[in-house]
Structure 1
């Protein structure tokens, strides 16, 4: 199962939480309206400062979802383009899409995570600084990684490889030259708490 109408993978290394959150919201809006609208990650970097979000120094996707809900919307990438750093929040922008809130997936529960994915993409934190992860170039990832939550991605599908390996399909923010055009198939149902690279430890998704 792979979602259609997911925007292209962008290269935005250290601001990953904003890109993970926007990817999930974009797809939810696509489900609601039938339109894929590129939304503004920069607005989240500048304006979502609740819960300890600190621009490109780090942040959490659920705090971004909460900001969009409380702000009653988010604007487009074209109207509020990415600047590669946190700047002053522009409050005089038109809002084109909104969400009602967000939900957390039960921690360390891969089955609950898998049940959430068919309804909408899910934002997750995982360990992404390891060599195996950073140099992934295709296939189902089964590499060496721990569970330090250092990176954020978006689960956009799942499946089973021809070799019988179950996987989750994640959209990264390291550009289309990384992995499989910016995506990774990461093994699921591994025998470790939190899943491979801790992918099931901190998962959330926006609600309509």
Structure 2
């Protein structure tokens, strides 16, 4: 009954605004491979999804008509409920402040910072990956910097296994598809002799039985030498760390507008001063139109999200808590 009332209210609003154009809904379904079989439930699912879509459509149009530094648009998330969207996140609460403080590390090499730095097109970054409807962003956030550092040292690229962490890491903060923490994932990898190659341990998007063999040398794609946090809430320290260590793991707070980002510098105030809920990787930084500083951020929702899988997030103001928990990892 509640969903029906929401649906009817949505149609009423859409009728007033003249936005209930079925052609846009049909085109959206075609582009995103959506198909709701009306014969199965008398059209209830189709009507619900359509109502959600047009609510989002109205929000997108309103946002893009305003004076904002970023734009949003439709994607595979446009007809999902809030509960359904939440499964694409996946960081648990960070370790205790005492542990965080004890591991704080500043880069050793104090060099002059370039105006921009961007590893996005580096040979050592694999194509954008997709976690699917599994809260495993923490595993992807842990693996990408390790892949990069291993590649930079060995001068050859090896794609590593997120599924190993999902299946095998049972640290107190890591729960497979129900969330985890990237730094404790690195701790786990040090105890099991490394990270498996993705070729030998491919991603499934669901938690299964652990199949990793620490004694099997052929299975190991990289090992963790050291890891630690960069000084919290210090953008300059993060820039220096990007130079020294390469891409950095971090956690952010995702709110509604983030799901629909397309271009520009993300600076939504709604994400500030809230608990973090998603792991991402910072791969660079820059300045937009000589006005606003930003981080180049790699997400785990596929190439068809955002700017081909990436988003620019405002730098220097701890936007969405992006500068609170940055961390690095070193391979060997």
Corresponding residue number in structure 2 for 1:158: 285
Matched, 1:169 2:323: no
Q: Select which of 143, 157, 172 maps to 1:36.
A: 157
C-alpha offsets along residues 33-87 of structure 1, whole Å, 9 cap, x if unaligned? Answer: 1112110000011112113210010100001111122222111111101111111
Structure 2 residue aligned with 1:184: 311
Q: CA deviation at 1:90?
A: 1.2
Of 206, 227, 237, the match for 1:112: 237
Match of 1:102 among 227, 239, 264: 227
1:104 aligned counterpart, secondary structure: strand
- Equivalents in 1 of 2:290, 2:266: separation in Å? 13
Please state how far the C-alpha of 1:163 moved relative to its aligned partner: 4.0
- Determine the structure 2 residue equivalent to 1:126: 252
Q: Check conservation: 2:183, 2:227, Cα contact below 8 A.
A: yes
CA contact 1:118–1:157 (8 Å) conserved in 2: no
Which ranges of structure 1 fall in alignment gaps of 5 or more residues? none
1:204 aligns with 2:309: no
Larger Rg: 2
Match of 1:7 among 126, 142, 149: 126
Bigger proportion of residues as helix:
2
Does the 8 Å CA contact 2:164/2:212 hold for their aligned counterparts?
Answer: no
Structure 2 residues without counterparts, runs of 5 or longer = 1-116
Q: Could you report, residue by residue, the CA deviation over 1:110-132 in whole angstroms, capped at 9, with x for unpaired residues?
A: 2222221122111001102x112
Larger RCO (alpha carbons 8 Å, 6+ apart)? 1
Cα deviation digits, residues 8-46 of structure 1 (max 9, x gap): 111214210001111111111111111121100000111
- For the aligned residue pairs, the C-alpha RMSD in angstroms reads 1.4
Tell me the TM-score normalized by structure 2.
0.59
